[in-house]
């Protein structure tokens, strides 16, 4: 009940800021809808509209962006519970010999169904007016979303969640490297130097990992590559002229990515675990741990990614990676305690060094 109330309040606050002005209801007074006009006689109405748009998320004196703060809080909250419930679902499905591809595909499918429901429900979310060219532009983001998701699932399925999250803390290094080599961005020498403790901390934390697996490490690295590509492609996509108007909102933007990402995972599922789907369904019907954790993790996955997408729109791709890494501190410690995973001193020291490097990276100019 508390979770549902939290979801409702959070999405109401965040969605209000992500809707374009044209999609928000006009203020109704006696006599009908009144247009926004300037308080200064003779001034152009567009000035007033521009001023409102410019400071719509700020206080009168330009204080905190509360909608962005709510988006970050919700992103952290849902990411934590997604990670926990996802691992419980993987364990209930058989662990390393279970159904990682099926779970990854169904989690995205749950999000896709939820997105379609919001479009179908009255007054929930307006349909986007995207063109075929727009959908083609969405394809790289969808592929990267699907690739990062299934790679993360494999990493967490083959090893400890805390180990997977520590390795994925090196994501800023991948984002910086890809930004420089493929997106024409520049990274200062100070930022490059700050990546040394990030990578060193990950290596140190991995040295005493009890559940170390080369495959889990490789899967986490692949997830980092996909996540870095997705962050840059997402920012590039949302900077496309006119796309915001046609898509309608940040929620629609992620909904399209999720539906297309689900379709991208479908061939992978059909080629790998589709032949065992009957076995999976038998387990799904008899195991409440699998059933409950799969459904909730799919829902949480969609929510935390939509909120993450909103933060990308308001920040840079590198800031997104830094915030994503800071969030891992909560996930690493919280999930490790909840699941009884090892928190060896050397592992936590490496984690602290890595997170400290990320903090310095965020301050470096």
- pLDDT-based confidence at 223, cuts 50/70/90? very high
Q: Please list, in sequence order, all residues whose beta carbon lies within 8 angstroms of the beta carbon of residue 275, skipping any fewer than 6 positions away.
A: none
Place of tokens 């790289």: 140
- pLDDT-based confidence at 9, cuts 50/70/90? low
> Could you count the other beta carbons within 10 Å of the beta carbon of residue 365?
5
In angstroms, the CA 291 to CA 53 distance is: 44
The token duo for 223 is 């997830």
Residue among 156, 165, 149 nearest 302 (CA): 149
Please tell me the predicted confidence (pLDDT) of residue 301.
94
Please tell me the predicted confidence (pLDDT) of residue 350.
82
Please tell me the predicted confidence (pLDDT) of residue 55.
40
| pTM across the whole model | 0.74
Please tell me the predicted confidence (pLDDT) of residue 212.
65
Q: What is the pLDDT of residues 103-158, one digit of tens each?
A: 999 999 999 999 999 999 988 889 999 999 999 999 999 999 999 999 999 999 98
The residues facing 32 across adjacent strands are 29
The token duo for 312 is 């990308």
In angstroms, the CA 93 to CA 64 distance is: 44
Q: What is the pLDDT of residues 299-345, one digit of tens each?
A: 999 998 888 777 767 776 566 666 766 777 778 778 878 888 777 78
Q: Indicate the domain borders of the chain.
A: 75-363
In angstroms, the CA 19 to CA 76 distance is: 22
Residue among 75, 142, 112 nearest 306 (CA): 75
List the alpha helices (DSSP H) in the chain. Answer: 2-18, 45-54, 66-92, 100-120, 132-158, 161-168, 171-182, 189-207, 214-238, 243-247, 250-272, 277-286, 288-314, 317-339, 345-363
């Amino acid at each position: 009940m508390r979770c549902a109330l939290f979801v409702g309040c959070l999405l109401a606050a965040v969605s209000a800021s992500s809707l374009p002005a044209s999609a928000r209801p006009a203020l109704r007074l006696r006599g009908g809808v009144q247009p926004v006009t300037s308080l200064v006689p003779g001034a152009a109405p567009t000035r007033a509209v521009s001023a409102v748009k410019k400071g719509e998320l700020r206080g009168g004196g330009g204080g905190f962006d509360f909608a962005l703060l709510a988006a970050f809080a919700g992103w952290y909250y849902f990411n934590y519970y997604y990670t926990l419930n996802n691992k419980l679902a993987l364990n209930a499905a058989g662990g390393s010999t279970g159904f990682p591809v099926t779970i990854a595909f169904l989690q995205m499918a749950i999000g896709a169904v939820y997105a379609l429901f919001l479009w179908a429900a009255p007054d929930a979310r307006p349909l986007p007016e995207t063109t075929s060219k727009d959908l083609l532009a969405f394809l790289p983001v969808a592929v990267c979303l699907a690739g990062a998701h299934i790679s993360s699932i494999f990493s967490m399925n083959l090893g400890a969640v805390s180990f997977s999250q520590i390795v994925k803390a090196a994501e800023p290094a991948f984002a910086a490297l890809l930004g420089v080599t493929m997106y024409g961005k520049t990274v200062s020498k100070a930022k490059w130097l700050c990546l040394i403790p990030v990578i060193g901390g990950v290596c140190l934390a991995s040295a005493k990992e009890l559940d170390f697996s080369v495959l889990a490490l490789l899967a986490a690295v692949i997830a980092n590559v996909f996540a870095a590509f997705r962050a840059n492609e997402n920012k590039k996509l949302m900077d496309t002229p006119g796309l915001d108007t046609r898509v309608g909102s940040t929620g629609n933007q992620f909904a399209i990515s999720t539906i297309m990402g689900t379709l991208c995972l479908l061939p992978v599922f059909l080629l790998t675990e589709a032949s065992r789907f009957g076995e999976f369904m038998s387990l799904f019907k008899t195991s409440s741990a699998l059933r409950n954790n799969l459904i909730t993790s799919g829902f949480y996955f969609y929510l935390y990614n939509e909120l993450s997408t909103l933060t990308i729109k308001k920040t840079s791709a590198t800031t997104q990676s830094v915030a994503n890494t800071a969030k891992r501190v909560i996930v690493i410690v919280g999930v490790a305690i909840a699941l009884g995973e090892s928190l060896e001193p050397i592992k936590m020291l490496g984690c602290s060094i890595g997170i400290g490097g990320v903090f310095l990276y965020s301050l470096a100019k």
